[in-house]
Amino acid sequence: MTGGLLIIGSSQAGVSLATSLRALGHDGPITLLGDENHRPYQRPALSKEWLQGEITNESLMFRTGEYWAEHRIDVVKNERIIRIAKQDNGSGTAHAMSGREFPFDRLALAVGARPRRLLVDGVDLPGVLYLRNADDALELKARVPDVHDVVVIGGGFIGIEAAASLTKMGRSVTLLEAAPRLVARAVGEETSAYLLDHHRATGIDIVLDAVVRRIVPRGDRVGGVELADGRVLPADLVLVGVGVLPNTELAESIGLECDNGVRVDESALASDGVTVAVGDCANLPNPVPGAPPGDRVRFESVNNAIEQAKVAAYALTGRREEYAGIPWFWSNQGSLKLQIAGLSHGYDRTLVRSDPARGKYSVLYYRGADILAADCVNHPLDFMAVRAALAKRQHLPYDAAADPARPLKSVAADLAGTG
């Protein structure tokens, strides 16, 4: 043994891999290395509770310094790996920009994703920000007190969450979405429409089908966003949230197959059969029971980073474990809490369970008689029922589920009881 396991990327997936390995009793050296100058921290609250000042910096941290020391996980901050030399047996050396070298017996890539850049004039003006990491979030939060008008470009989860937070913080927010509906990549039309109505009602000015022509200056800073129809929306701050790209450069440089992420198998092993790749950077076989053969997915979620890291931890200890559970995701947007269970790809009909009086709203996605997924707004019971039914491969009969007064759990239980 020369270097043990080197995990590049010390965020959700890297941390989960290191902690899962120790939980499995793996005793070898583990180096958890990242290029940020912070202790490993969780990202989700950066656009939500933390931005709004509801929680402290400390509460974002994954683990205490004592945990890392006790579990002999060597956490290395502020080192960016720029080159890797790897042998066929999986061992090698990673070279950091600083000149430091990190030898390893096995390598894990948990390098995540980076924001897709907007390619229009004016994006480099001061006051045009992205939101992926703690430094981005610190800059955004520091600027908020001096800002009145905010334009958010991108109506995906991060754009909407940040828009909702900034609105709650008293800013005047316009959100621009290029598509005809919000979060079109992740939810169906009913959920998009519900989110649109809700966020408009809270005061966010949402422009759909918006084509950004350029970002215009005011003095030497950002001053507004010009749309293709000639309108100029005033902005003291522009936040761009137009998706992320997986960081595959290191993987490609050592010859690993990549295609919208590092291609891995069911055990999180890359194409060389020894390196693992986990989290937002990995492209994996669709883990949902009953998924079409050969179907692949790349998730951008905490749940996936944790589950895939567990699978990878087994693989690194010579055991095989299938991806457990059903993919799920959450997005808190102001007072609205969206939870998504399963993957709706390939659905052919939907069912809406709406309880306006209690602010609950769920959309269930079916293919034929089979439930595939659900988007649940402020409806944790529906979310848990669908997640459980998917995990147990139960049916949630469409007609029975259509009664919003009937708990979904009882619908699934009925079938199990009779079947």
Ligand X SMILES: Cc1cc2nc3c(=O)[nH]c(=O)nc-3n(C[C@H](O)[C@H](O)[C@H](O)COP(=O)(O)OP(=O)(O)OC[C@H]3O[C@@H](n4cnc5c(N)ncnc54)[C@H](O)[C@@H]3O)c2cc1C
Rounded Cα gap, residues 254 and 257, in angstroms:
9
Rounded Cα gap, residues 117 and 104, in angstroms:
33
Give whichever of 3 and 279 is closer to ligand X, judged by the CB atom.
Answer: 279
Rounded Cα gap, residues 307 and 288, in angstroms:
12
Shortest Å distance, C-beta 109 to ligand X: 9
Shortest Å distance, C-beta 415 to ligand X: 30
List 114's β-bridge partners, or say none.
Answer: 245
By CB under 6 A, name the binding residues for ligand X. 8-9, 11-14, 33-36, 43-44, 46-47, 80-81, 110-113, 131-132, 158, 247, 250, 279-281, 300-303, 305, 329-331
Residues 216 and 225: beta-carbon distance below 8 Å? yes
Q: How would you classify the pairing of strands 30-33 and 73-76? A: parallel
Give whichever of 271 and 303 is closer to ligand X, judged by the CB atom.
Answer: 303
Rounded Cα gap, residues 176 and 155, in angstroms:
7
Shortest Å distance, C-beta 320 to ligand X: 22
Give whichever of 336 and 396 is closer to ligand X, judged by the CB atom.
Answer: 336
Give whichever of 331 and 350 is closer to ligand X, judged by the CB atom.
Answer: 331
Based on its alpha-carbon atoms, the radius of gyration of the chain, rounded to whole angstroms, reads 22
Give whichever of 6 and 204 is closer to ligand X, judged by the CB atom.
Answer: 6
Distances (CA, A) of 317 to 108, 211, 283: 13, 50, 21
Give whichever of 366 and 383 is closer to ligand X, judged by the CB atom.
Answer: 383
Residues 5 and 105: beta-carbon distance below 8 Å? yes
Shortest Å distance, C-beta 6 to ligand X: 10
Rounded Cα gap, residues 375 and 343, in angstroms:
10
Shortest Å distance, C-beta 254 to ligand X: 12
Give whichever of 210 and 251 is closer to ligand X, judged by the CB atom.
Answer: 251
CA 3 to chain centroid: 30
For residue 189, give the amino acid letter. E
Q: What tokens were used for 200?
A: 């408009």
Shortest Å distance, C-beta 142 to ligand X: 16
Shortest Å distance, C-beta 33 to ligand X: 6
Q: What tokens were used for 161?
A: 């969450």
